[in-house]
């Protein structure tokens, strides 16, 4: 389980990127969504996101315990889930992709609206769920921008 938890938590090693691994992984996740997940029917995409979330909870919890850190920067599977949520069922244009990426990173880094308090959930739950909330906030704002434009 240790090796699998490390691979999942670091998203195949992306968490070891030397500069801003969370942003790097969010970019990879956005592009994966754009070119792969967007093609799946909404229910399938939602099931994939949910499956990665629960897998991430277990893997991130295990790997963070092994490292002896609460939320190590190497763990980036949470960015994948949060980024995918930010883009979920949004009309896929390059502008929407860029806005979804930017808004998710903004909310993930600044953690407004009580997002920071979600980090206090135990183990992998806190690691993953704050990014779910950040992704949901980004999705909401992106949807509002679609109505306004």
Q: Using one digit for the tens of pLDDT, what is the confidence trace for 45-95?
A: 999 999 999 999 999 999 999 999 988 999 999 999 999 999 999 999 999
Q: Is the pLDDT of residue 149 over 90?
A: no
Name the nearest CA neighbour of 29 among 70, 88, 69: 88
Higher pLDDT, 47 or 113: 47
pLDDT of 97 strictly over 90: yes
Average pLDDT (110-131) is: 94
Mean pLDDT confidence for 5-29? 97
CA distance 19 to 64: 20
pLDDT at 116 over 70: yes
Mean pLDDT of the chain: 96
Mean pLDDT, residues 3-13 taken together: 97
Residue (of 118, 128, 97) closest to 29 by Cα position: 97
pLDDT at 1 over 90: no
For residue 13, is pLDDT > 90?
Answer: yes
C-alpha span between 45 and 33 (Å, rounded): 9
């Amino acid at each position: 389980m240790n090796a699998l938890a490390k691979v999942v938590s670091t998203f195949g090693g992306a968490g070891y990127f030397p500069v801003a691994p969370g942003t790097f992984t969010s970019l990879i996740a956005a592009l994966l969504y754009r070119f792969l997940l967007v093609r799946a029917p909404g229910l399938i995409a939602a099931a994939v996101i949910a499956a990665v979330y629960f897998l991430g909870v277990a893997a991130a919890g295990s790997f963070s315990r092994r490292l002896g850190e609460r939320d190590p920067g190497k763990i980036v599977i949470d960015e994948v889930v949060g980024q995918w949520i930010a883009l979920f069922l949004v009309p896929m244009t390059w502008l929407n992709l860029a806005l979804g990426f930017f808004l998710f990173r903004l909310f993930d880094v600044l953690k407004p609206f009580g997002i920071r308090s979600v980090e206090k959930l135990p183990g992998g739950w806190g690691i993953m769920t704050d990014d779910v909330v950040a992704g949901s906030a980004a999705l909401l704002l992106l949807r509002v921008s679609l109505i306004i434009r």
